[in-house]
Structure 1
Amino acid sequence: MSLSKSITNRRAAPGLALIVVAALGLAGCSQEKAEVKEIIRPVKVVEIAKASDTRQLSYSGSVRARTEMNLGFRINGKITERLVDIGDRVKPGDVLARIDPTDYELSVRSAQASLDAADRQVETVELTRKRAEQLYAKNFAPKSQLEQATLSYNQAVATRDSARSQLAQAQNQVRYTDLKADKNGIVTAVAADVGQVVGSGTPVVTVAIDGEKEVLIAVPETDIAEFKPGKTVKAGFWSDEALTLDGKVREVAGSADPQSRTFAVRVSLPNDPRVLLGMTASIEAAAGNRQQLVSIPLSALAQKDSQSIVWTVDRNGGTVHAHPVKVAAFTPDGVSVADGLKPGDVVVAAGTQFMTENLKVKLTGDAAQQSASADDDAARRLR
C-alpha cells in the first residue's frame, strides 16, 4: 500500500508543478498589463479667443444733483426756528429757518427816528433858504447869506437821504432773519439747529436743485486720458439691474485730489424719475487696449515655484504642459493675461491641482468639440 501511494504521489507532482507555473505566468501577465495601461484623465478646457482691441472701464459713484446750494443767513444771529427736515421738498419763498429778529427790529426803529429827525431838519432849513431868497431878491440881504442857506439845505437833504438808506438797510436785515429757498429742490443736509449762533454765510441748509442729475466718480491717473468732456458712457444702478442709461462726461477735474491722487469726473444723466439722489451708480466706458490681453477663468490659473502658470494641452499628443504667463489684472470675469498665451491655445480650465507634466488627458468642454470638428473636417478632405 505504501509503495502504491508513493508511486501515485510521484506521478501527481509534475502536474502540480505545471499548474503552479501556469498560475504564476498568468499573474505575471496581469501585472504586466496593469503596468502597461496608461492613465488618461478627463479635463475641462477652454480655447483662448482672439484678444479684444478694447477694454471696459468701470467706476462706482453716487447720484447727486448737478446744482446744490448751501444756504445760510446773510446776517449774524441765534437760530430760533428750523422749519424743514432732510428730504423735504421746497419751492421759492419757503421759509427754511429763522433767527432772533429783536436787535434788527430795534435798528429799524432807530433808523426810522433818524429819518424823521432828518425830515424835520430839511423842513427847517428849507424855510430859511426861501426866506434868504426873498430877502436877496429885494436887496435886503447879501448874496453870501443866500448861498449859506442853500448850502445848509443841501446838507440837510443829504442827511435825510442817508437816514432813508439806513432805514431801508435795517428793514432788509429784518427780512434776512428768515432764510428762504430760491428754487425748487429737496433738502439734503441740515448743518445748524435751533439755539445755535451762526455767522453770516454759515451753511445752515443744503438744497439739491431740481433738474439735471449727475454721477461723481474718481478716476486714477492711469485711465483719466480715456475720459473727455462729451464722451458717451453707460450708467447702471445697483438698485435696479435692468435700469441702464446713456450718460455723458460733463466735467473732468484739471488736477488730482492731493489725498487720493484721483481725478473727479462728473457724468450727466438724462432725466428719469427712477433715478433718485444718493443712489449708487456704476459708470462703464470703453477704452483702447494699450496691450493685447487675453482672458482665462480664474480656476485655470495655478502657481509653480512662485510663478503664475497655466496648463496648456497639446492636441496632437493629448498631453498637458506647464506654461508660464504674465497676469495683467483680475477682473469679475476671470484673469487678464498680458503675455504667455495666444489665440487658439487650449488651457485646462479646472482641476489644475491634479495636473503633472506630460499627463495624458481627454478633452471636455467647448475646446474638445472644436477639436473634434476640426478632425472631422480633415477626415472628409482625405476621402
Structure 2
Amino acid sequence: MRILSFLSVFVLLLIGCEKPAVEFSPKAAHPVNAMTLKKSAPATSYEVSGTVKSWKTEQIGFEVAGRVQWVLEPGKNVDGRITDADQNLISEGTPLAKIDPVRYEIAVQSATAALDVATMDKQIVQIRYQDTIPADIESASADARLAEDDFARIKRLQNQNAVSQAEYDQVSTRLQTQKLRLTNLRSSLKQASAELKAAEARITVAQQNLEDAQRDLEHTVLYASYRGQISEVHVVPGSVISAGSAVLTLQMMDPIKVEIEVSAEQSRLIQRRRQVPVRFTMPEGTDESQMAMVYVVDPSADASTRTFTVTLLILNKQYRPELPESLRSLSVARAAKIWPLNLNEVMGTDSDAFLVEENMLEHDDQGHFLWVMDGIELMQTMPDVMKVRKHYVERLGVRIPFLGNWVFQPVKFLDAGNDINSRTLIAGNLEFPEGNKDQWDGQSVVFDSGQHWMLRPGDLVHVNLGREQIKEGYYVPVEAIYEESGETFVFVIDENVARKTEIKVDLPDRLDTASTLRIDPLEADRFSETTRIVVDGVHFLKDGDKLFVLGEKE
C-alpha cells in the first residue's frame, strides 16, 4: 500500500514537471558561391604560349643595276614565280618591282645585231670552204694534170733534141706553178675549215651574249620565289640601285611557324612530325583551333633559360571579316578605296582641277563619274555606314604617275556645287551585295580593306602539349562536384533552391583543387548557358535546401 502511494506521487511529480512543446523556426538558407555554366575549352597544365613567326623571310633585290621605276607597297600579298624541274614556267607570279629597262633593251638589240653579223661571217666562210675553194682545187688539179702531160711530151722531145731548152724550161716552170697553186688551194681549204670553226665559236659567243642581255632585260622585273606578303620596302621609285641591293622584304605567310619554349622533359616527349593542337582567338572574339606539325626541336637548350625551342608549322589562310550584325540586313556596298581630293598638294600640280586615281573613275551612258561621300570630309571619323552620291566629271586628259603604283588624272566636276572641295572624300572599287548591283540601295557604303591573314607574325597562340585535345563543353571546378554511392551530382540553383542533378563525368584517380572537369547532364538539354550551379560547400547541401548566393565565380 505504501509502495502504491509512492508511485502515485512520483507520477504526479513527473506530470507537473513536463515542459510545454517547442515550435522550431524554418531552416536558414545556406550561403554559397555560384557560377554560370558556359561552354569552353579551358587551358590545361599542358598548354603553353607560342609566338607566330614567318617561316621564311628574305630580302629580295635585282640581279642588275638601274633606276627603280616602281615597287609594290607593304602589306601586299603576292604569288611566287614557279617553274618545274626542267625550268618550264608553271606560274607567272606577281611582279614586285621594276627598274628602267631601256639600257637593257639596247643591249639586247646590240647583241642581236652582233649575232646576225657573226652568222653572216660564218656563211661567207662556209661558202669559201664548201664551194669556192673546192672548185678552185678541182680546176687547179685539172691544170696540173694538163701541165704534167705537156711536161711528159716536152721531155720526150728534149730527149730527141726536137725542142729548145727554152721551150723545155717554160713547160717545166708551168708544171711547178700548177703544183704550187694546187698546194696553196689545199692549204686555203684547211685555213677555211679553221675559219669556219672560229665563225661558229663567234656565233656561240654572240648567242651567249644575247642570252645574257635577254636575261638581264628579264631581270629588270622582280619576282618572288614563293607566295607571301611584302613586309617592308627599302627603296622608292627613282632610286638608283646596284645589283643585289635589297629592294623589299618578303615573308612567307602560308605555312607559317609557331615557336614555343619547353622544358627538357617536355622536349623529349615531343616527337618530330607529331601534330599538336593550336588555339587562337579570331578578331571577332571566337576561339579557333587547328592542328600544327612539329617541324624541329632544337638540339640544344637556351643557355639563359635552360629551355628548348620547338618550331611548329601550321597552315595559314585568309579570311574576310563579316559585316557587323546590325549591317547584314542592309543593302550596302563595300568600298576598298577611299581618297581625298586634295592630292594636288602632294603631287605639286596646279590646283585648278582635282586629281583622282584613274581606277576610281567609272563610266555609264552619260559619261564618267565618281562616288562622292556625303556628309564626311577628310580628318573626320568615318561612321560604320557612309552615304555616297554620283557626280559626273570631265577628264582633262593628262595622266600623272605617282611612285609607280598609281596614275592620277585631273578632272572637273560638271554638276558640283559648294559641297565639293579639297577635303571631299571619294570612294572607289565598289563591291555590291552578292555581286549584284541591283541589290544595292544606291547610296550605302562601308569601308572594307579586303582579305586578312588568320595568323600574322607576332601573334600569340596557345599550344596544347597534352596527348588529347581539350574538347569544348561545360567545365566546372572539382569542388562543385558531389559524389555519393558511385554517382556524381551538381547542385543547380533554381530560384535560390538547390536541385541535386546527376551528371556524367570521368573522375581521374587523383585531383587537386585547381582541376576542372567536363560535365554532361544525364538528361539532354538539361544545361544551358544560363544554368547556375553551386561551386563550393556542396557536401553540406541536400536536395531542396534554400540558398543565399554570396557571389559569382568565373
Instruction: Give the TM-score category using the shorter length.
Output: 0.5 to 0.7
- Quote the Cα distance in structure 1 between the aligned partners of 2:298 and 2:278: 20
How far is the alpha carbon of 1:165 from its aligned partner? Answer: 1.7
1:271–1:113 CA distance, 2 compared to 1 (3 A): closer
TM, length-normalised to structure 2: 0.38
Determine if the alignment matches structure 1 residue 213 to structure 2 residue 391: no
Of 24, 34, 50 in structure 2, the residue corresponding to residue 60 of structure 1 is: 50
1:187–1:171 CA distance, 2 compared to 1 (3 A): same
How far is the alpha carbon of 1:63 from its aligned partner? Answer: 5.5
What are the superposed Cα offsets for residues 148-205 of structure 1, whole Å, 9 maximum, x if unpaired? 1111121112112211220121122112111134555433332333244444344423
Name the SS for the 1:117 alignment partner.
helix
- Quote the Cα distance in structure 2 between the aligned partners of 1:77 and 1:259: 46
How far is the alpha carbon of 1:258 from its aligned partner? Answer: 7.6
- Quote the Cα distance in structure 1 between the aligned partners of 2:192 and 2:511: 108
Amino acid in structure 1 at the alignment position of 2:65:
N
Q: In the alignment, what sits opposite 1:291?
A: none
Determine if the alignment matches structure 1 residue 284 to structure 2 residue 272: no
Amino acid in structure 1 at the alignment position of 2:267:
I
How far is the alpha carbon of 1:97 from its aligned partner? Answer: 0.7
Determine if the alignment matches structure 1 residue 155 to structure 2 residue 143: no
Q: In the alignment, what sits opposite 1:90?
A: 78
Determine if the alignment matches structure 1 residue 132 to structure 2 residue 133: yes
Of 199, 206, 215 in structure 2, the residue corresponding to residue 172 of structure 1 is: 215
What are the superposed Cα offsets for residues 268-302 of structure 1, whole Å, 9 maximum, x if unpaired? 33565556231432223138xxxxxxxxxxxxxxx
Q: In the alignment, what sits opposite 2:471?
A: none
What are the superposed Cα offsets for residues 305-339 of structure 1, whole Å, 9 maximum, x if unpaired? xxxxxxxxxxxxxxxxxxxxxxxxxxxxxxxxxxx
- Residues 195-234 of structure 1: pairs in structure 2 closer than 5 A: 195-208=238-251, 212-219=254-261, 222=264, 223-234=266-277
- Quote the Cα distance in structure 2 between the aligned partners of 1:199 and 1:264: 38
Name the SS for the 2:243 alignment partner.
coil
Q: Which moved more, 1:68-77 or 1:169-178?
A: 68-77
1:218–1:77 CA distance, 2 compared to 1 (3 A): farther
1:233–1:87 CA distance, 2 compared to 1 (3 A): same
- Residues 219-298 of structure 1: pairs in structure 2 closer than 5 A: 219=261, 222=264, 223-239=266-282, 240=285, 242-255=287-300, 263-270=308-315, 273=318, 276-278=454-456, 279-286=459-466
Q: How many residues align?
A: 250
Name the SS for the 2:123 alignment partner.
helix
Q: Which moved more, 1:154-163 or 1:252-261?
A: 252-261
Runs ≥4 in structure 1, deviation > 6 angstroms? 257-261, 343-346, 365-368
Name the SS for the 1:106 alignment partner.
helix
1:231–1:122 CA distance, 2 compared to 1 (3 A): closer
Of 61, 79, 101 in structure 2, the residue corresponding to residue 72 of structure 1 is: 61
Q: In the alignment, what sits opposite 1:331?
A: none
Name the SS for the 1:166 alignment partner.
helix
Name the SS for the 1:246 alignment partner.
strand
Amino acid in structure 2 at the alignment position of 1:75:
V
How far is the alpha carbon of 1:68 from its aligned partner? Answer: 5.0
Q: In the alignment, what sits opposite 1:186?
A: 229
Can you give the 5+ residue segments of structure 2 that lack an aligned partner in the other structure? Answer: 1-31, 33-43, 80-91, 142-180, 320-452, 468-509, 514-533, 543-554
Name the SS for the 2:74 alignment partner.
coil
1:137–1:344 CA distance, 2 compared to 1 (3 A): closer
Work out whether residues 53 and 259 of structure 2, in 8 Å CA contact, stay in contact via their aligned partners in 1.
no
Work out whether residues 79 and 196 of structure 1, in 8 Å CA contact, stay in contact via their aligned partners in 2.
yes
Name the SS for the 1:75 alignment partner.
coil
- Quote the Cα distance in structure 2 between the aligned partners of 1:108 and 1:371: 93
Work out whether residues 234 and 246 of structure 1, in 8 Å CA contact, stay in contact via their aligned partners in 2.
yes
- Quote the Cα distance in structure 1 between the aligned partners of 2:512 and 2:210: 88
- Quote the Cα distance in structure 2 between the aligned partners of 1:152 and 1:61: 68
- Quote the Cα distance in structure 1 between the aligned partners of 2:192 and 2:270: 74
What are the superposed Cα offsets for residues 10-42 of structure 1, whole Å, 9 maximum, x if unpaired? xxxxxxxxxxxxxxxxxxxxxxxxxxxxxxxxx
Name the SS for the 1:79 alignment partner.
strand
Whose helix fraction is larger, Structure 1's or Structure 2's?
Answer: 1
Work out whether residues 277 and 292 of structure 2, in 8 Å CA contact, stay in contact via their aligned partners in 1.
yes
What are the superposed Cα offsets for residues 319-368 of structure 1, whole Å, 9 maximum, x if unpaired? xxxxxxxxxxxxxxxxxxxxxxxx8999xxxxxxxxxxxxxxxxxx9886
Work out whether residues 104 and 216 of structure 2, in 8 Å CA contact, stay in contact via their aligned partners in 1.
yes
Work out whether residues 125 and 195 of structure 2, in 8 Å CA contact, stay in contact via their aligned partners in 1.
yes
Amino acid in structure 2 at the alignment position of 1:121:
D
Amino acid in structure 2 at the alignment position of 1:277:
L
TM, length-normalised to structure 1: 0.53
What are the superposed Cα offsets for residues 224-282 of structure 1, whole Å, 9 maximum, x if unpaired? 33432133323121444522223231222345568877644322335655562314322
- Quote the Cα distance in structure 2 between the aligned partners of 1:71 and 1:147: 53
